[in-house]
């Protein structure tokens, strides 16, 4: 099973490998959520949702339901 | 002196674009609306070197030219329409130095429209602190433009920016990206059909459904033949385009930007650990709200008493100095108390806008959105609904407009419908005067009972909003895709100038906007209260004298009896008595009834109305509050404003939809009368029922 952004743990860094562009708003792509870019989980809200991420230097928060459409590869633990 | 240069300020949200605007224009600015829509339009005049003048337009913040909201489409509409009178001669793209990579995306798009574009890199004061160094020469060469390094905080680089604007004709207009690389065949056929048009412009029109300038539209109408690509295909191409743009940007930044992470100090992480903590985050949020309410209540007491007394003595002065007659009485009993009823709320409204501006400017508001999202979702709301709900405490009108960045229509509609429940600044006057009248003084844990009552009313407002949202969420049958993206900006020390300008602008808008209505209603009320039909009104003196002949009254008492008899038989008295059966179960007399009725136009009219009604026919000049305290029932002689009727009134105002401007804005934002009418009717019924229950229970 492939790893999605919803599985990332706090402090972990990862590289985005693929995004399902149909499910992801263009705005998120434009904010740097693109294959090859780095992503790090900064903080999770209570109940583990939404997720506060650092994607390619941009700090943003997205919901878990969006994060499952972004495939990643964990690069360090 | 040449012609005025049109300058458009463009940039991502949270880049300090407004600070740059303020630095360029100072107080030389005006805020209006774009025609036909309620997007705020900020423009100003700036003097450039060599006596040149520039017209500066501060466009709404946007992440890209692919618009996803009404505010953003304003930007693209302007940039595509060369015939617009505001079409920029030069664009200034404002960037945050810490987020250059993402900010440059928008820059490349605007550059590709072949508009001369200056890059203004803002917040330069944070560079050393973040370990960032830039090679401006290389960046200028790679990006094909001129760059101004600015720090609005330290007031640096503004002069350089002005010089660059004045010299805009020297700027190259070479594009950054050849758009046809994303699909050569498609763009080749496009180019063959429209040899005169800019390809990127065509692409923007094809790829999104925005409404563009009238004249250009005709040229583009033929484009319909080209809309053969499916939505999914278009989106894939947009993604490809975005990747290409980032490749270009990464390449530029590799050469011209150096970030030494070992030198970077990150305050953000430390602050976020606390401010978005699952326990402390909420504790701090509630503490901040408490502080705000305490401040509004406690700090504004002195200036408010001062204003109240000033207007009371002004009325007295007018009565004494001016020759007596209808004009003087209109002035002293209609106009002056009416204006006083508006002016008195300036301190509180200014405080409220001050705090909201601080929360927005510091970057804290996004943390609240983040913290609250999961909690709001069961109510059919989004974390982004928190911003409208909080700014609704200032005014529901900007709050309803602030829902535009909520991506899901259902979440947005529910937010619009429940926002008027939050305690807006117009309710404040009503609450404050009633609290002062019926809630005892005294303190518990340093907080006064009166401040706590106010806090409770705010909580009731939020509670009602959430409750109504929950009901709507369960009953509204709307399916809409929801997604949620929030930028978490850096924490910033708010700039005093920005906060001050916001406070001044918003307070001014309140005073003049609401002031006009209140003043007009005051004058009409004075007329209705000073004249009446029939024998009873005209012969009041004789009738009253006969009635009380046996009671041996002093002259003062007799005059008072006559005045109140006159008021009861005036036009307004007759109207008030007509509605009395409907409102007396709520504990209100006919005078309060009139005030409730007139305040359907706007809530804050309530106090002004009472001020006018009570000052007509009273000789001694007194403050509004003292007059209200003196009011007694005609039969029982018990005070009209007691705990039961006071609380019933406050609850009525907490739930009732009494604001025509909000209804108008809801109509505009939801495209029809259906939702505003629904709001008006259901909220009024709820208010009546709750007020009725409260009075019957407490009396």
Pick A60's closest partner by Cβ from B268, B483, B485.
Answer: B485
Contact B374 A21 (CB under 8 A): no
Indicate if the pLDDT at residue B641 is higher than 90: no
If DSSP codes are grouped into helix, strand and coil, which group holds residue B96? strand
Q: Which residue has the higher pLDDT, B348 or A24?
A: A24
**Homologous superfamily in CATH for domain A5-76:** Ferrous iron transport protein A (FeoA) (2.30.30.90)
Q: Where are the domains of chain B?
A: 5-259, 266-518+642-652+659-685
Per-residue pLDDT tens over the stretch B153-212? 888 999 999 999 999 999 988 888 888 888 888 888 888 887 778 888 888 888 876 555
- Mean pLDDT confidence for B72-94: 89
Contact B99 A57 (CB under 8 A): yes
Q: What is the pLDDT of residue B501?
A: 86
- The minimum CA-CA distance between B89 and chain A, rounded to whole Å, is 26
- Cβ contact A53:A39 at 8 Å: yes
Per-residue pLDDT tens over the stretch B550-562? 777 677 777 777 7
- Mean pLDDT confidence for B607-628: 69
- Mean pLDDT confidence for B409-428: 89
* pTM, two decimal places: 0.78
Distances in Å between the alpha carbon of A64 and those of A49, B385, B481, B484, B499? 6, 18, 14, 10, 35
With contacts defined as CB-CB under 8 Å, which chain B residues touch A59?
Answer: 268, 487-490
With contacts defined as CB-CB under 8 Å, which chain A residues touch B246?
Answer: 32, 34, 37
Q: Which two tokens stand for residue B122?
A: 């803002």
Per-residue pLDDT tens over the stretch B648-690? 999 999 999 887 778 877 887 887 889 999 999 999 999 999 9
Q: What is the pLDDT of residue A17?
A: 92
Contact B101 A27 (CB under 8 A): no
Q: What is the pLDDT of residue B223?
A: 59
Q: Where are the domains of chain A?
A: 5-76
d(CA B99, CA B108) in angstroms, rounded, equals: 15
Contact A26 B276 (CB under 8 A): no
Q: What is the pLDDT of residue B1?
A: 44
With contacts defined as CB-CB under 8 Å, which chain A residues touch B489?
Answer: 59
d(CA B526, CA B511) in angstroms, rounded, equals: 21
Per-residue pLDDT tens over the stretch A40-68? 998 888 778 899 999 988 899 999 988 99
Which run of H or E residues covers position A61? strand A58-62
Tokens 């050393």 sit at which residue? B128
Beta-bridge mates of residue B132: B259
d(CA B328, CA B323) in angstroms, rounded, equals: 7
Helix, strand, coil fractions of chain A, as percent rounded to 5:
20, 40, 40
Choice among A10-14, B9-13, B258-262, B474-478 with the minimum mean pLDDT = B258-262
DSSP label at residue B334: I
Q: What is the pLDDT of residue B439?
A: 87
What's the angle, vertex CA A12, arms to CA A9 and CA A15, rounded to 5?
A: 110
Q: What is the pLDDT of residue B319?
A: 82
Considering only alpha carbons, which residue of chain A is nearest residue B72? Answer: A27
Contact A25 B483 (CB under 8 A): yes
Distances in Å between the alpha carbon of B359 and those of B368, B387, B495? 10, 10, 12
Contact A58 B487 (CB under 8 A): yes
Mutate to test the interface with A, among B370, B385, B480, B491 (most CBs of A within 10 A): B370
With contacts defined as CB-CB under 8 Å, which chain B residues touch A46?
Answer: 278, 371, 374-375
CATH class of B5-259: alpha beta
pLDDT band at B37 (very low <50, low <70, confident <90, very high): low
Say if B238 is an interface residue toward chain A (CB within 8 Å): yes
ipTM above 0.90, yes or no: yes
Contact B236 A29 (CB under 8 A): no
With contacts defined as CB-CB under 8 Å, which chain B residues touch A52?
Answer: 272, 276, 370, 488
Indicate if the pLDDT at residue B372 is higher than 60: yes
């Amino acid at each position: 099973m492939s790893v999605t952004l919803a599985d990332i743990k706090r402090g972990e860094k990862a590289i985005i490998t693929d995004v399902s562009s149909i499910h992801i708003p263009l705005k998120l792509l434009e904010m740097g959520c693109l294959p090859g870019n780095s992503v790090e989980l900064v903080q999770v809200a209570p109940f583990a949702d939404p997720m506060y991420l650092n994607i390619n230097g941009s700090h943003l928060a997205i919901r878990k339901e969006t994060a499952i459409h972004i495939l990643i590869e964990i690069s360090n633990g | 002196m040449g012609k005025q240069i049109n300058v458009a300020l463009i940039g991502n949200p949270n880049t300090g674009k407004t600070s740059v605007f303020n630095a360029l224009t100072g107080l030389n600015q005006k805020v209006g609306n774009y025609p036909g829509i309620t997007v705020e339009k900020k423009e100003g005049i700036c003097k450039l070197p060599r006596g040149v003048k520039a017209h500066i337009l501060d466009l709404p913040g946007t992440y890209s030219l692919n618009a996803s909201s009404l505010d953003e489409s304003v930007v693209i509409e302007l940039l595509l329409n060369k015939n617009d009178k505001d079409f920029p001669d030069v664009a200034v793209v404002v960037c945050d130095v810490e987020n250059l990579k993402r900010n440059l995306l928008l820059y490349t798009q605007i550059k590709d429209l072949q508009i001369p574009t200056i890059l203004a890199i803002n917040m330069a004061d944070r560079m050393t602190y973040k370990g960032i160094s830039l090679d401006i020469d290389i960046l200028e060469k790679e990006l094909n433009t001129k760059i101004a390094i600015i720090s609005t905080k330290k007031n640096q680089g503004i002069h350089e920016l002005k010089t660059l604007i004045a010299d805009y004709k020297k700027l190259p207009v070479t594009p950054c990206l050849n758009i046809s690389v994303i699909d050569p065949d498609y763009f080749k056929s496009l180019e063959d059909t429209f040899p005169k048009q800019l390809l990127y412009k065509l692409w923007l029109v094809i790829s999104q459904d925005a409404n563009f300038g009238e004249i250009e539209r005709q040229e583009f109408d033929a484009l319909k033949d080209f809309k053969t690509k499916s939505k999914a295909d278009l989106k894939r191409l947009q993604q490809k385009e975005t990747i290409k743009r980032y490749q270009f940007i990464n390449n530029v930044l590799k050469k011209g930007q150096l970030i030494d992470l070992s030198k970077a100090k990150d305050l953000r992480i430390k602050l976020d650990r606390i401010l978005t903590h699952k326990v402390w985050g909420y504790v701090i949020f509630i503490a901040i709200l408490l502080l705000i309410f305490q401040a509004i209540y406690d700090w504004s007491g002195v200036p408010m008493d001062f204003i109240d007394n000033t207007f009371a003595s002004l009325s007295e002065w007018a009565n004494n100095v001016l020759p007596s007659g209808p004009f003087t009485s209109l002035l002293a009993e209609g106009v002056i108390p009416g204006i006083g009823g508006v002016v008195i709320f300036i301190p509180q409204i200014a405080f409220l806008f001050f705090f909201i501006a601080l929360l927005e400017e510091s970057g804290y508001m996004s943390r609240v959105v983040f913290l609250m999202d999961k909690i709001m979702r069961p109510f059919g709301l989004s974390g982004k609904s928190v911003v409208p709900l909080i700014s609704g405490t200032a005014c529901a009108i900007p709050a309803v407009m602030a829902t535009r960045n909520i991506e899901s229509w259902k979440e947005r509609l529910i937010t619009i419908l429940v926002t008027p429940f939050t305690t807006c600044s117009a309710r404040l006057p009503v609450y404050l005067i009633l609290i002062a009248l019926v809630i005892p003084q005294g303190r518990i844990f340093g907080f006064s009972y009166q401040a706590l009552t106010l806090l409770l009313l705010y909580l009731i407002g939020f509670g009602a909003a959430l409750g109504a949202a929950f009901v709507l969420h369960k009953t509204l049958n709307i399916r809409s895709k929801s997604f949620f993206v929030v930028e978490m900006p850096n924490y910033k020390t708010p700039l005093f100038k920005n906060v001050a300008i916001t406070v001044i602008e918003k307070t001014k808008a309140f005073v003049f906007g609401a002031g006009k209505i209140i003043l007009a209603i005051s004058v009409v009320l004075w007329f209705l209260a000073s004249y009446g039909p029939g024998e009873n009104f005209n012969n009041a003196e004789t009738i009253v004298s006969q009635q009380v002949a046996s009671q041996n009254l002093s002259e003062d008492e007799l005059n008072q009896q006559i005045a109140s008899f006159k008021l009861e038989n005036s036009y307004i008295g007759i109207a008030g008595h007509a509605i009395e059966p409907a409102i007396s179960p709520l504990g209100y007399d006919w005078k309060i009834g009139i005030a409730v009725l007139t305040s359907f136009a706007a809530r804050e009219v309530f106090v002004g109305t009472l001020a006018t009604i009570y000052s007509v026919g009273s000789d001694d000049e007194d403050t509004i509050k003292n007059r209200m305290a003196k009011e007694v029932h005609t039969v029982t002689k018990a005070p009209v404003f007691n705990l039961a009727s006071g609380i019933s009134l406050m609850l009525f105002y907490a739930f009732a939809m009494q604001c025509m401007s909000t209804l108008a804005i809801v109509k505009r934002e939801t495209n029809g009368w259906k939702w505003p009418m629904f709001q008006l009717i259901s909220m009024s019924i709820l208010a009546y029922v709750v007020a009725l229950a409260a009075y019957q229970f407490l009396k």
